[in-house]
Every structure is written in C-alpha cells, then in structure tokens.
C-alpha cells in the first residue's frame, strides 16, 4: 500500500459499522461485532486462497459471502471485487466484466470498490484486446478517483501496458516515467513499472 496515506476506505467503513450507538445493550453489541468479524474472516480466507493462486477456492468463498451476507455492504464490496479478480485470473472475461460493473452499481458509495472495479474493467478489456475501451476505463479511474493513489497508479500502469501492446513505445515510456515521479510511495506498482521499462528498453 502507499505509505503515509489514509487507511483504506473499506476498513474505515467497517470500523464505523461496528460502532453501536443509541443505547444498544452490550450483549447485542457483542453479537453484532462477532457476526462482522465472521464475515471478515471469510473474506480474508478467500483473499489468502487468491494470493496463493487457488482461484476456484477463492471464487467459491467470495460467492458464498455475497449470497449469505447481502446486507454487509462493506465486506460484500470487497468480496465482489475479489470474485471479479478471480474470474479474470481464470480467464472468464465476460463474468469478470459483469462482476466489476456490478460493483459500481451495487456499491456506489464505496470509493475503494468503485475505483478498483473501474480499474478492473480496464484490465478486463486489456485482456480481451479491446484497447480503446481499456484506455477509456483507466481514464475514468484517473479522473474520478484521484484520492485513491494506489489504484490510480495501477490504472496508469495499465494505460502504459496498453500503449506498449499497441506499439506506442514513446507513449508507454512517458506513462511509466509519470508513475515513477508521481507515485513514489506505491512500492509494488513502482517495482512492476521498472520491470516494464526494462522490457521496452
């Protein structure tokens, strides 16, 4: 994550959601917190499977979360993006595109989900070879979600990758250099960008 940046919006929302007010009894509060913690654990389990490359296992859990906890918008938003990512990784591009687009509709107030979903749309179009659509999607991320620096950095990297695939080497290099200058604290993106620069030297 970007160093020195505010904590992710989904986590802020979760913290707010677990604050029980208006005189709710302690027992009811503990139940609410336990239920939220359970959903969080399932999302974390799915994320771990995804990071390990166990895409189908991750996908199954994300789907279960969405089916069983439809009212938990914070973690459902995270599961929605996770499900879309898993679909994209296993090559189900149409399903991935639909899932990313659904995130924008279902969770319009979750800036992290919307920015990640919009960036995912760009990634999906890139994988489909629809470069104009990909560039348009990445452009939306950069224009609308400038307060999400890491997602913007990844979107800009996606933009550079599209230019590279189109044979527009000068544009690709310029885009990659912009990332190095503008998003210095986004270490993972910087590392990927440097690798791409080496490829086109």
DSSP state of 23: S
Q: What is the pTM of this model?
A: 0.79
- Tell which residue, 196, 187, 199, has the closest CA to residue 2: 187
Residue 83: pLDDT above 70?
yes
CB neighbour list of residue 15: distance below 8 Å, 6 or more residues apart:
none
- Cβ 121 vs Cβ 100: under 8 Å: yes
- Tell which residue, 138, 184, 129, has the closest CA to residue 160: 138
Length of the chain: 201
Buried b (16+ CB within 10 A) or exposed e, 19-46: eeeeeeeeeeeeeeeeebeebbebbeeb
Averaged pLDDT score across all residues of the chain: 83
pLDDT per residue over 31-51, tens digit each?
333 344 588 899 999 999 999
- Cβ 103 vs Cβ 114: under 8 Å: yes
pLDDT per residue over 125-152, tens digit each?
999 999 999 999 999 999 999 999 999 9
Angle (nearest 5°) at CA 8 between 144 and 193? 65
- Cβ 126 vs Cβ 157: under 8 Å: no
- Confidence at 97, pLDDT banded by 50, 70, 90: very high
CA dihedral of residues 162, 164, 167, 170 (deg, nearest 10): 120
**Dist. CA 107–CA 80, nearest whole Å:** 10
- Confidence at 199, pLDDT banded by 50, 70, 90: confident
In the chain the first and final C-alpha atoms are separated, in Å, by 28
Q: What is the DSSP track for 148-183?
A: -HHHHHHHHHHHHHHHHHTT-HHHHHHHHHHHHHH-
């Amino acid at each position: 994550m970007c160093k020195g940046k505010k904590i992710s919006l989904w986590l802020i929302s979760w913290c707010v959601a677990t604050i029980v007010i208006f005189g709710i009894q302690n027992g009811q509060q503990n139940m609410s917190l336990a239920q939220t913690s359970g959903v969080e654990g399932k999302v974390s389990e799915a994320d771990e499977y995804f990071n390990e490359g166990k895409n189908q296992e991750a996908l199954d859990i994300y789907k279960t979360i969405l089916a069983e906890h439809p009212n938990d918008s914070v973690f459902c938003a995270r599961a929605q993006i996770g499900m879309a990512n898993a679909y994209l990784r296993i090559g189900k591009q149409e399903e991935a595109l639909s899932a990313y687009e659904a995130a924008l509709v279902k969770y319009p107030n979750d800036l992290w989900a919307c920015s990640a979903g919009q960036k995912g749309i760009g990634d999906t179009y890139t994988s489909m070879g629809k470069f104009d659509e990909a560039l348009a999607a990445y452009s939306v991320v950069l224009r609308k979600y400038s307060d999400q620096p890491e997602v913007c950095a990844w979107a800009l990297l996606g933009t550079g990758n599209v230019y590279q695939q189109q044979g527009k080497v000068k544009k690709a290099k310029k885009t990659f250099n912009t990332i190095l200058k503008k998003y210095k604290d986004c270490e993972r993106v910087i590392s990927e960008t440097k690798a791409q620069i080496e490829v086109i030297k």
